[in-house]
Amino acid sequence: MERSVSSLPQEKQERVWRALDGLQIEIPSWGFANTGTRFGKFIQAAAATNLTEKFADASEVHRLTGITPTVALHVLWDLPGGEGSVAQVKELEQTYGVRAGSINPNLFQDQEYKYGSLCNPDPVVREKAVQHMLASVRIAKALDSRDISLWVADGSNYPGTQSISRRIGWLEEALKATHNEMAPTQRLLVEYKPFEPAFYHTDIADWGMAYSLAKAAGPQAVVLVDTGHHALGTNIEQIVAWLLHLGVLGGFHFNDRKFADDDLTIGSIDPYQVFRIFHEILSYKTWNKVHEDQIAYMIDQSHNLKGKMEAMVQTVMQAQELFARAALVDQNLLAELQDSCKLVEAEEHFRGCFYTDVRPMVAEWRQSRGLPANPLEALRTSGYVEKITEERAAKNSNTQSSYA
């Protein structure tokens, strides 16, 4: 039987604390805004309706959790003036003490992108999309952001209506051009998704396509794994192991799902899967060299029903606690058990770690870093949500939110 947390050996505790020290999570600006499902959204009075409010919320999450120093930004939504909006972002960074993180180009909203962006059969539209990519790289440079995080919504709905193979070529060209614009320290993260909005074919549908495109683009292009972007039943941790092996695991978009790309709270449906993903990373790190910050852990969730602030803090805690549980795995012991094919013993150790309640240990770690033991509880008692609800409700009363 697993021992209770308080009697965990010193060495285990140290391993967990070291792991926690190395974990930072990026929060998305859009996680504070009114987002919903394809059927609509329920407007929340406390939701952020401009960039200042998003930075304020992100800063509060960082104050409570201590591990979210950066905010992912969406070019169209957060920097509507493109490069002209950089100065405002820099000012907000100063005011709120959180920095701009990954820069997300937007190639799915404009009417011209009806038949695709980087893969559109019309060269004029493709060129416009490439120009947006280049502008996104320049924005990232100006903000000292390392990562440009690309999700391409392109695809088609009916067989025979688009040339799948010619579109591969267009995509390669576009990513090469983007790569050429990057500074040597920057990275291009290529996200994949099997379907939606397109339902027959999606131009970057899986990790193989993303990997191949990254290779074609250049050495600074890597793959991004969104946990919600796989066919049901896919062994995501195996994909993670492969990407680590190939040296191209650029980062994650965290969320959970039951049926499709549901964008629910990470680990809310299947915490064991998150544990297994973290285990592959920690295991790989035990035996190989990976820089801590090589893997960008980012959240990509959409909360239609939960309060935005509560959901974000809960997400960070959940990810942190599952990471700590994965850090309990004794890699040497597990390797021994695996090599001698002691299947039940290996599995018992593995799932024993998963079933260990690390919350007291993580709470201790937080306190030792001057953070609240329970950030969600601290959020509740801080009155922050009540404050923004009141302020924002008053401000938005005449101007019903039109956030896209």
- Which stretch in 182-190, 199-207, 272-280, 298-306 sits in contact with Zn ion by CB under 5 A? 298-306
Query: According to the binding rule CB under 5 A, does residue 261 interact with Zn ion?
Result: yes
Q: Using the minimum distance from each CB to ligand AOS, give the nearer residue, 252 or 350.
A: 252
Q: Using the minimum distance from each CB to ligand AOS, give the nearer residue, 53 or 263.
A: 263
Which one of Zn ion, ligand AOS, none interacts with residue 156, CB within 5 to 8 A by kind? none
Distance in angstroms (rounded) separating the CA atoms of residues 46 and 303? 13
Please report how close the Cβ of residue 348 comes to Zn ion at its closest, in angstroms: 33
Please report how close the Cβ of residue 151 comes to Zn ion at its closest, in angstroms: 6
Q: From the list 66, 228, 267, 372, which residue makes contact with Zn ion (rule: CB under 5 A)?
A: 228
- Do residues 31 and 301 make contact, with C-beta atoms less than 8 angstroms apart? yes
Query: According to the binding rule CB under 5 A, does residue 147 interact with Zn ion?
Result: no
Q: From the list 57, 261, 280, 321, which residue makes contact with ligand AOS (rule: CB under 6 A)?
A: 261
DSSP state of 331: H
Q: What is the DSSP string of 178-203?
A: HHHHS-TT-EEEEE--SSSS-SSEES
Please report how close the Cβ of residue 28 comes to Zn ion at its closest, in angstroms: 9
Query: According to the binding rule CB under 6 A, does residue 308 interact with ligand AOS?
Result: no
Q: Using the minimum distance from each CB to ligand AOS, give the nearer residue, 29 or 320.
A: 29
Q: Using the minimum distance from each CB to ligand AOS, give the nearer residue, 193 or 349.
A: 193
Please report how close the Cβ of residue 375 comes to ligand AOS at its closest, in angstroms: 24
Supply 76's token pair.
């169209």
- Which stretch in 209-217, 237-245, 263-271, 316-324 sits in contact with Zn ion by CB under 5 A? 263-271
Distance in angstroms (rounded) separating the CA atoms of residues 206 and 313? 30
Q: From the list 53, 226, 256, 321, which residue makes contact with ligand AOS (rule: CB under 6 A)?
A: 226
Supply 329's token pair.
């795995």
* 210-238 core/surface letters (b: 16 or more CB in 10 A; e: else): bbbbbbbbeebbbbbbbbbbbeeeeebbe
Query: According to the binding rule CB under 6 A, does residue 253 interact with ligand AOS?
Result: yes
Query: According to the binding rule CB under 6 A, does residue 384 interact with ligand AOS?
Result: no
Supply 187's token pair.
């990275």
Please report how close the Cβ of residue 252 comes to Zn ion at its closest, in angstroms: 9
Q: Using the minimum distance from each CB to Zn ion, give the nearer residue, 30 or 96.
A: 30
- Do residues 137 and 86 make contact, with C-beta atoms less than 8 angstroms apart? no
Count Cβ atoms within 10 A of the Cβ of residue 189 and give its class: 0-12 exposed, 13-18 middle, 19 or more buried.
buried
Beta-carbon contacts of residue 315 (< 8 Å; ≥ 6 apart): 254, 265, 266, 299, 301
Distance in angstroms (rounded) separating the CA atoms of residues 253 and 28? 10
Query: According to the binding rule CB under 6 A, does residue 151 interact with ligand AOS?
Result: yes
Q: Using the minimum distance from each CB to ligand AOS, give the nearer residue, 17 or 151.
A: 151
Best CA proximity match to 29, nearest among 91, 87, 81, 102: 102
Query: According to the binding rule CB under 5 A, does residue 101 interact with Zn ion?
Result: no
Count Cβ atoms within 10 A of the Cβ of residue 332 and give its class: 0-12 exposed, 13-18 middle, 19 or more buried.
exposed
Distance in angstroms (rounded) separating the CA atoms of residues 19 and 352? 18
Query: According to the binding rule CB under 5 A, does residue 300 interact with Zn ion?
Result: yes
Please report how close the Cβ of residue 72 comes to ligand AOS at its closest, in angstroms: 8
Site map 318..357 versus ligand AOS, x via CB under 6 A:
----------------------------------------
Query: According to the binding rule CB under 6 A, does residue 265 interact with ligand AOS?
Result: no
Site for ligand AOS in 73-112 (CB under 6 A): 104
Element (H, E) at 310: helix 308-327
Distance in angstroms (rounded) separating the CA atoms of residues 117 and 129? 6
Q: From the list 26, 93, 154, 191, which residue makes contact with ligand AOS (rule: CB under 6 A)?
A: 191
Q: Using the minimum distance from each CB to Zn ion, give the nearer residue, 146 or 285.
A: 146
- Provide the binding-site residues for Zn ion, judged by CB under 5 A: 226, 228, 253, 255, 261, 263, 300
